[in-house]
Structure formats: C-alpha cells, structure tokens
C-alpha cells in the first residue's frame, strides 16, 4: 500500500468532491518508480469510480496525465507526486473533474485570455515546500486554457534530465523548452511574467487612503487588519504578499499554534486581510516616499498613491556574500534555501557559509542528504545555539572551518569550488565542491527610503514606542525597523502598534 491509512481517509473525503469522470493516462515501465506510480493509480481507482485508467506512452516514463473524458487537459505528473506534491495531485484530480479552482474571477479571465502556446515543465523535489505553489498555479492554467500544458517532473526520478539541463534549484520552470523561472512564484506572478498584468493605470486614480501599508508580510498584514477594523480607508501595497514566511518551512513558535508551515500561514494571513475592506495591491513595489500635504508613495509602475498616514513594513531579504561567482552561479550551485534545494545535492559536497543558527541548521539538514558538508564561519567561533553546535559536531560528514573569509565561488557553467582565506594565517585555500548555501543573515528592504526616513547604520528604520518614524504620519513595523529581534510574532506585535499609533496620529491631525 503506497498511501498510509490516515492519508487515505483524508483522500477519500476529497475524492467525494469530484464532479465528473476523469481518465489517468499512464506511461509506465518496469522500474521501481513506475511500480510505485502504478500502485498509487491503482489505489485511487479502488477509491473512486469516477477515476478511469488507460495505458499509453507519454514523453516521459514513468508519468501520467490527468484528463477530462475525451479531452487532453495537458496536466502531467512525471514521477510519483507524493510528499509535498501530493496536494498538487489531489487538486489536479478535483479541478480536472470540474471543481472550480479557488482563484479570483479576474485572474481566471487573465488565464483564459492568454494567446499562444505555453508548454511548461517544472522540476521539483518532493521535499520542496516552495514547489507546490508553482505546480498548482501552472496546473490551474492548464485546466483553464487549452493552449497551456504543464508537466511536474520529480528531479529525483529523472536525474539524467536534471543533470543535462543543469537544474540546480527547485522549482525550476521551463517554458517551450527554454528556462523561464526559478523559485517560488504565485499564479499572479507567473501571469505578470508572461506580460499579463491588471491595468496599472487604475492605481494612480485611487482616492487618498487614511492608512496605506507598504509590505504584505506578518507586520504589514497585521497593520492593515488593525487599521481596517477602525473603519478607516486602508490600502496595502506588497511586492509579494506573505513576505519571508513564504520561504519558511516549519514554524513552531507562533504561539498558540504548535506547528504550522510558512505558505500555510501566509495563506491564512491573506484570507484574514481579505475578510476586511482593505484595498490589496499585490505584486507592486514602492520606490519613493514623499511628505507633502498628504504622504505620497510612488510605485515602480509610475502610479502615485496618496495617504494621510503610511506604515512601512517592507521586511528583509537574504544577505548576499558579495564575492565573485555568487551572482553568476545563482541557481547553478549557489543556493539560499536548504529545504528547497538540498535534495538536488544528494551525494555531493556542499559548503554552508555562515555559522549562526540558520547556517548550522542548514548544515545539519544538508548532512542528511549530501556526501559532505563544509561550514565556513568568518568569526573565530560559531554563533549558533549550543544545542545546534553539539548536534553539528556529532555528525560524521561535516567539517567546520572557522576564521574563513570566502573569497570566490568558482565554476565554469556551474559551481565547482570555493576559495577562502584563513584569516589567522592569511593563507588562501580552495575546496572542490558542487554547491554553496549562503546563510549569513538578512538586510532590511529600506534602500528606497534614502533621504526621507531616518535609518540606523544597518539600514533599519528608527521607530519610537508607537512605531512612529522621524517623518510625521509615517510609521514602520517588523523586520525593516531597528527592533532588537526579528520574529513573526514580534513583527505582528509591532504591526499592531504602528497601526494604533497611526490611528492616534489621524485623530490628532
């Protein structure tokens, strides 16, 4: 039995939601993955009479397509969609059967209006938590538009193909055989990349807001909810709604919830904000702020939004090493997300740069997959918590090098090594390896405020206890501020503080 009893019970409930018959067209061989795929398909047919199976030959073996009766939908799974892709598989069954996807009507129209032929292929790993969003988005597009097809490919089952196409990060998407994108993307982001965007000119004609929030992470979402609950006109501009939690796997310190996962929390945040009358402007980036009679925020698309008060919650992003080779080999051996890209380095030698908590956690994770992990720490000692260090040092395939200043990431078409300087002796060393995971902390997303809002030497916005900045009417919250600690719950708390601070300001001015 390929599915355990608990999953099977859940699946049975979902399968009852299927609206029409579907047919799985299966291309199988004699290998173990084919046998597992057939076992999965067989198990499904015993669970729903709406699922039919046909044998066929597809471009890849093992793979299967999910189709309406008498009509190819273009949704294909190559490999066995278990692990994180199981949900993608179940959703595909439901959506192909006629159950409408949970997508805004405007987005459905955008998809249906796509002209041309789009043959997408997405390389995933079954442990990648960023992959299902991309797979599910492209599957929805395939289901809704006959000109779009999408194949999910489990990299572990198609290793030769992965090597041949130099796929070194997941998800990696190819469109019509050419590299299209890498990393987590929402449906809206994919559509925007295809040149299909909602009309930007409408943004500039909006009435002024009472509170305009910039940033859609935990801090921004909280600030928007607090403002909207006061009954005032609230807007939120976010480059990527959800923020850093979209790249986070397990969360165990979001108090009152013992365990959740980042993308799940991001979806709940969005649902909560949407429950209120908040004007959400997703996939929009602010580039300038100016205090006039009202506060004006200019977006990258040229639109200018006006508001009586603004709350900046633009968070932070991974810090780059800034050495030669880092940018050139990004996604060609240089990676930032061990949970996502770790499985692609199975049996290989990788380095982790950074000996803080995130670096050491990454190294412990990677040691279970890679042949060898070398941790390079700039300082004379690791900075991670003692329990993590103990765990790290107990692993047989890990080497820790301290006092190491990374000089260059080397390679030809992909990473083949790293050069570092031993800061104690000044000697230069080179290690041959295939992957480098950069884990050296975060930088605040505040460059766009240069010359307007006061920041400290790290670029963090300086706020008072009400979240107010030095500019009257401009407040800030979360990881972009000088708060001592950067955590989800702390960002939410400061988002609430800034919003209440802004409301007080509006009453008094």
Ligand X SMILES: Cc1cc2nc3c(=O)[nH]c(=O)nc-3n(C[C@H](O)[C@H](O)[C@H](O)COP(=O)(O)OP(=O)(O)OC[C@H]3O[C@@H](n4cnc5c(N)ncnc54)[C@H](O)[C@@H]3O)c2cc1C
Shortest approach of ligand X to residue 173 CB, angstroms? 20
Binds ligand X by CB under 6 A, chosen from 79, 101, 132, 217 = 217
Shortest approach of ligand X to residue 422 CB, angstroms? 29
Q: With CB under 6 A as the contact rule, which of the stretches 64-72, 215-223, 325-333, 453-461 interacts with ligand X?
A: 215-223
Is beta strand 428-432 parallel, antiparallel or unpaired with respect to 415-422? antiparallel
The catalytic residue among 154, 341, 365, 480 is 341
Q: Which is nearer to ligand X, 173 or 251 (CB)?
A: 251
Q: Which is nearer to ligand X, 91 or 449 (CB)?
A: 449
Nearest-5° Cα angle at 365, 360 to 366: 95
Q: Counting every residue, how long is the chain?
A: 509
In the residue annotation, 4 being an active-site residue is answered as: no
Q: Which is nearer to ligand X, 113 or 253 (CB)?
A: 253
Q: Which is nearer to ligand X, 24 or 191 (CB)?
A: 191
Handedness of CA 41, 46, 51, 53 (dihedral sign): positive
> How would you class 108 by CB atoms within 10 Å of its CB: exposed for 0-12, middle for 13-18, buried for 19 or more?
middle
Residues forming the annotated binding site for NAD(+)? Answer: 349-363
- Secondary element (H or E) of residue 197: none
Shortest approach of ligand X to residue 238 CB, angstroms? 4
The catalytic residue among 128, 133, 247, 337 is 337
Binds ligand X by CB under 6 A, chosen from 219, 311, 344, 375 = 219
Binds ligand X by CB under 6 A, chosen from 238, 360, 376, 496 = 238
Q: Does 188 bind ligand X (CB under 6 A)?
A: no
Q: With CB under 6 A as the contact rule, which of the stretches 113-121, 196-204, 238-246, 392-400 interacts with ligand X?
A: 238-246
Binds ligand X by CB under 6 A, chosen from 80, 440, 488, 496 = 488
Shortest approach of ligand X to residue 327 CB, angstroms? 20
Handedness of CA 384, 385, 391, 393 (dihedral sign): positive
Q: Which is nearer to ligand X, 139 or 314 (CB)?
A: 314
Binds ligand X by CB under 6 A, chosen from 88, 139, 142, 491 = 491
Which of 244, 243, 246, 219 has its CA nearest to residue 312?
A: 219
Q: Which of residues 421-460 bind ligand X (CB under 6 A)?
A: 445, 448
Tokens encoding 170: 């997941």
Q: Does 247 bind ligand X (CB under 6 A)?
A: yes
Q: Residue 100, by phi and psi: left (phi above 0), alpha (psi -120 to 50) or beta?
A: beta
SS3 string, 335-376, reads ECCHHHHHHHHCCCEEEEECCCHHHHHHHHHHHCCCCEEEEE
Binds ligand X by CB under 6 A, chosen from 83, 216, 235, 354 = 216
Total residues contacting ligand X (rule CB under 6 A)? 34
Residue nearest to ligand X (CB): 315
Shortest approach of ligand X to residue 470 CB, angstroms? 19
User: Measuring CA to CA, how many Å separate 74 from each of 185, 414, 415?
Assistant: 20, 32, 35
In the residue annotation, 340 being an active-site residue is answered as: yes
Tokens encoding 360: 């050491």
Q: Does 220 bind ligand X (CB under 6 A)?
A: yes
Q: Which is nearer to ligand X, 50 or 486 (CB)?
A: 486
CB of 312 within 8 A of CB of 214? yes
Q: Which is nearer to ligand X, 356 or 417 (CB)?
A: 356
* DSSP secondary structure of 153-182: EETTT-HHHHHHTT--SSSEEEETTEEEEE
30 preceded by a cis bond (ω within 30 of 0): no
**Spatial separation of the C-alpha atoms in residues 122 and 268, rounded to whole Å:** 26
Write the CB contacts of 14 (distance below 8 Å, at least 6 apart in sequence): 90, 93, 94
User: Measuring CA to CA, how many Å separate 175 from each of 82, 149, 209?
Assistant: 24, 10, 40
Binds ligand X by CB under 6 A, chosen from 18, 185, 237, 453 = 237
Q: Which of residues 257-316 bind ligand X (CB under 6 A)?
A: 285-286, 313-316
**Spatial separation of the C-alpha atoms in residues 301 and 296, rounded to whole Å:** 14
Shortest approach of ligand X to residue 505 CB, angstroms? 20
Shortest approach of ligand X to residue 487 CB, angstroms? 4
In the residue annotation, 480 being an active-site residue is answered as: no
The catalytic residue among 128, 131, 340, 480 is 340
Catalytic residue numbers read 337, 340-341
Q: Write out the residues near ligand X by the rule CB under 6 A.
A: 214-220, 237-241, 243-245, 247-248, 251, 253, 285-286, 313-316, 445, 448, 478-479, 486-489, 491
């Amino acid at each position: 039995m390929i599915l355990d009893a608990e999953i099977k019970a859940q699946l049975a409930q979902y399968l009852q939601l299927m609206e029409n018959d579907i047919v799985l067209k299966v291309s199988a061989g004699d290998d173990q993955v084919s046998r597992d795929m057939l076992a999965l398909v067989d198990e499904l047919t015993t669970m729903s009479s709406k699922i039919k199976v046909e044998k066929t030959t597809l471009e890849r073996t093992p793979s299967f397509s999910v189709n309406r009766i008498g009509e190819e939908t273009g949704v294909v799974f190559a490999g066995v969609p278990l692990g994180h892709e199981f949900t993608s598989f179940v959703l595909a069954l439901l959506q192909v059967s006629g159950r409408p996807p949970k997508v805004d009507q405007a987005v459905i129209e955008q998809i249906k209006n796509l002209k041309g032929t789009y043959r997408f292929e997405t390389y995933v790993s079954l442990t990648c938590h960023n992959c299902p969003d991309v797979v599910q988005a492209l599957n929805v597009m395939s289901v809704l538009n006959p000109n779009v097809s999408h194949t999910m490919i489990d990299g572990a089952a198609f290793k030769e193909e992965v090597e041949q196409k130099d796929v070194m990060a997941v998800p990696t998407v190819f469109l019509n055989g050419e590299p299209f994108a890498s990393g987590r993307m929402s449906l809206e982001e994919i559509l925007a990349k295809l040149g299909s965007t909602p009309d930007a000119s409408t943004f500039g004609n909006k009435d002024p807001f009472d509170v305009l929030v910039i940033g859609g992470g935990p801090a921004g979402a909280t600030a928007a909810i607090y403002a909207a609950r006061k009954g005032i006109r609230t807007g939120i501009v976010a480059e990527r709604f959800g923020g850093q939690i979209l790249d986070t796997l397990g969360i165990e310190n979001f108090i009152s919830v013992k365990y959740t996962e980042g993308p799940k929390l991001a979806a709940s945040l969005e649902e909560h904000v949407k429950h209120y009358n908040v004007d959400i402007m997703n996939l929009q980036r602010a580039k300038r702020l100016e205090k006039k009679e009202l506060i004006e925020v200019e977006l990258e698309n040229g639109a200018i939004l006006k508001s009586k008060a603004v709350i900046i919650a633009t968070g932070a992003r991974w810090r780059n090493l800034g050495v030669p080779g880092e940018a050139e080999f990004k996604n060609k051996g240089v990676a930032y997300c061990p949970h996502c890209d770790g499985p692609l380095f199975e049996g290989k030698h990788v380095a982790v740069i950074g000996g803080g908590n995130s670096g050491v956690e990454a190294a412990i994770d990677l040691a279970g997959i890679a042949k060898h992990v070398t941790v390079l720490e700039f300082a004379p000692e690791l900075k991670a918590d003692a329990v993590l260090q103990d765990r790290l040092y107990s692993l047989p395939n890990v080497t820790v090098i301290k006092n190491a200043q990374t000089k260059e990431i080397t390679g030809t078409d992909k990473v083949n090594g790293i050069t570092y300087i031993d800061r104690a002796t000044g000697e230069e060393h080179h290690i041959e390896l295939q992957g480098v995971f950069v884990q050296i902390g975060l930088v605040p997303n505040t460059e766009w405020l240069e010359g307007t809002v006061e920041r400290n030497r790290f670029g963090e916005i300086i706020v008072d206890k009400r979240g107010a900045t030095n500019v009257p009417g401009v407040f800030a919250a979360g990881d972009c501020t000088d708060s001592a600690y950067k955590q989800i719950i702390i960002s939410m708390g400061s988002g609430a503080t800034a919003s209440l601070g802004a409301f007080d300001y509006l009453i008094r001015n």
